[in-house]
Copies of this chain bind each other. A is one copy, B any other.
Amino acid sequence: MAKNKQLLVAGVDVGGTNIEVGLVDDQHKVHGRAKAPTPSEGPDAVLDTIAELIGSLGEDPVAVGVGIPGVVHEGEVLTVPNLGGWHEQVDLVGGLGSRLDGLPVALGNDANVGLLGEWLDGAAKGSRHVLGLWMGTGVGGGLILDGRPYTGARGAAGEIGHVVVLAGGALCSCGRRGCAEAYAGRRSMAGTAGSMVEAGRTTALFDIMEAEDKPTPTSKVWAQALDDGDELATTLFDGAIEHLGIAVGSTINLLDLDVVVVGGGLAEKLGQDLADRIGEAARPWMLRPSPELRIVVSALGDDAGVVGAASLGRAALLVD
């Protein structure tokens, strides 16, 4: 074994809540993990935390790959809309490299990187035309087209959450009306639930949230409320599925995919049943779906981002 020692790459998944790091081998297996809350003080604090987490893994990686919730183009982070203090373009590759003795560092968008993990070693392994649909605070997406990751002209592709499904409908956090995310993002759903409670409706959603000591209704909170048969939570969630189905159906009509992978916190809690429900909601909108089309839940769960990010790091090593 010592002779054939694996070269491990650190995969880093920077989320709005936590940063997760794993050491990943060239067969996409994760050998060690570490996790910390995402600092809200801006880029320097985030880079420090990533470097500390990598240092805590006990073994030195040969490269680092990072998935970040922002627009990444040619290795540059263009915008990071959902993390505190990221107001300008940040040289994340240089800043992290200098904290890690010049290790090669590669960058990707978190949704794209998560799909990369699922495509390399998860639910979309071996597929050529894939949509990754991530249900979280918002609704994110990534694409594999013709057997290659697709990020578009400037790295901003995959925004299935901002496919407009009902023009003029519900207000989205992006300021437009009728995006899929306005119905199916956890932040939007919580906002709607709050308004309905103010208007006199009842739900256990916020009681569960408080009992769980969470600042907002998390996936776990939603899963609990749905499991308890909470009427308002069920109505909102049915609406989320219905509107996601329209966005997925339109995307199939546009891209003739063979796999849709459903991931994110809610997918981890609800499993294949969530993917099946989205599939049922999407089918009526599809014109000519491939007979082999599959709509499946993420196989790697939380590890998808770490595995995908590590693969970017490994690729950086090859070209370095």
Contact = CB atoms under 8 A, between A and B. Distances in A.
Contacts of A253: 159, 162-163
Interface string A237-255: 0000001001001110111
Contact of A246 (B79, B167, B257): B167
Task: Sort chain A's interface into a size bin.
Answer: 35 or more
B157 A258 contact: no
B255 A152 contact: yes
Interface string A217-250: 0000000000000000000000000010010011
Given A146-B145, A249-B164, A256 B287 contact: no
A128 B152 CA distance: 9
Given A150-B145, A153-B129, A153-B292, A287 B159 contact: yes
A160 interface: yes
A162 B152 CA distance: 22
A152 B150 CA distance: 13
A98 interface: no
Contacts of A162: 250, 253, 287
